[in-house]
Chains A and B, each alone.
Chain A
């Protein structure tokens, strides 16, 4: 006897499980009113499980009976003539939906040719083995699987039209590509997913060659002429949010231009963009550290109030300024209220991003790279017909990674753009390369896609023929403008006196343990010392007791708290971190004694 569960609840027992399951399935296919459940037989546990619950992931498959697909030529003909549709196929039990459980009992064929008696279902298209993003990779059956993974990953990072109502939204860290295009080489998934409504790349002319070493490794060269004409331009948005908080004791924040006597008042110049209500005006061109929302808050601790001061007048300035390293134009201002009823100000910053050295681009096959140089159009290599490529891609990226589809797309894109049509690159069902080559020949080009090129600097003809064509390229969201970071000097930590951490605060670049080892290995002793000078301090040491003495700068006297004035006190230079260590040892009850000796 086999236990029967419906939605994980025990219902009863069944004599012959396989027969029961088969009969149930036949009944479900016959009678439409019974649909909407899935049944599986778990042989190991000897249990039958029926699921009818919401939220199961279902997928459609063509039913196979006695080794024959229920989707006949007749059906296909009718579908083509638009006589029947998906609903009809469902009703006629040509297609049924399986959940994860029932799938365990199914034997699914990938294509009609391989069908045999044992199969229970047929995949609607072999492309179904891929997910949404991977299906968007054209000519995927020409690539290794790891490249497809990377290709679908890079597509997720590409800039495009992420939402049609982007102008009304307050999304963090998003970009819009200015002139997104539909790819010339499409897959079926591009049509299914309405890719033409939200494209995320541009069709560009690419040449596979090297240029002066500026595109070594994975770097690419971009044509300045193309950039000036608007290629891969994007807009970056960032919202700034400020809330008028209420504190205990009836104190509130106030959004306004802070008064000069507010604690922590910045310079007048930094408030110049504010309107009388304390918020920037729309369209203001702001740069880092500019205040965009002025705000004053009550003092942090009420104890801070001194006896004689007028309690309410001492306010703390707590304005919001543009983040370190950012700039842009004020795009939208929203004044509203949040759930607690506090005044809420949202300001959106907009910044145009023109491709520059360091911006990241990728094709759809995991071939990603950053711009190594932006070259003037007149210096770019040009073809016999006068075409300059938008982008130069290094041939060394190809043999090791075996992204054959990258090459086929260049070829196919060339055919597509010349013939004025879209090329189908649906996985397992592509327009064959031979056909593309033939078409290219008919269009008056060399069938292998190569062309005679001339050196853009000297005008000499290049010895090799250059492979050139059109390809769909993506601008990825990683832009240097968001990552570039340098520091000469700046803020330090209170405790250790070492530089603070993080790009947004203008922090230092850490020279870590292993980097230190590198300096030592090179014997660069003094350079190493200089690198670690960030927290050096002069301390005065009592040579009698070996502890730190006191040097009073104003009175210009030095004395030891233990030995008094009658001792030799010597200034030495050590790292502040070591001074801290000495203090901690003292706190532990140890006596770290410094014995001084002249170095020279």
Chain B
């Protein structure tokens, strides 16, 4: 196993129902589909044959609509839900083989989780909510208070330590949730649609704050969302789920430029490509380019082939010439004409 893989799921299945084991056997031997399993065994497939790995420091987004199994999937990582079959590895440990004590140990020390509906303890102050994971670990009160103070500072909630969660707005409550997840200084953050219940403006603020924190703390994050924009904004890589299966895994650019099927294509259709597609994807090799009348590549502006479309547009409006791209050595490698640029913005190649 690679050193830098933090979370790995291998062919994980979850079938809900009293006859889940039988159904699982049938899936393995006969390759039954979702509907047949429901008909024959009265069992519902939660996730089907999901495999992926998350590398150290990356934000891995799992995107899917409601009912696609993404929340079920994330709960397999800390075994809040037991898989019917498959392997789960966390930092080189086989999670499925852990005793319940060892599992609790891992949950308490290595994993922080943030929930869609915050799930704060209403009878405890903000400070004691953030300190709760440490309390479970048996830390002293002084240490709990120090750490929660610090964690609340990280999410910008100084001065609210002695309030109750109900006195805070939704966005602030979720920041408490984030502080609580950070409080035990976990290696892994599991975020189950943390910003979905918030209004768009607050959501955007929290996304920014989370990205800044993520840069600062380098937590490996598994981030669940139903919002592709959010996935693209935050994700190092994205997995797209449909009906319990992972349809495609890739970088935001991969997903947008090479959708695996019509389902993903539908999703990415209305996504702005400006920041996702780079010059090297749409450029024509400089040797193949035939200048049109009045064009002179000698007068063209030159930019790195790694800039995104947004940047290219900014340059294109200042000149009538096509743009020439250069590699890291400063050599001309490609040409982006206005036609190419417009096609690129629409998502074509």
State whether these chains interact: no
Taking beta carbons and an 8 Å cutoff, which residues of A are in contact with B?
Answer: none
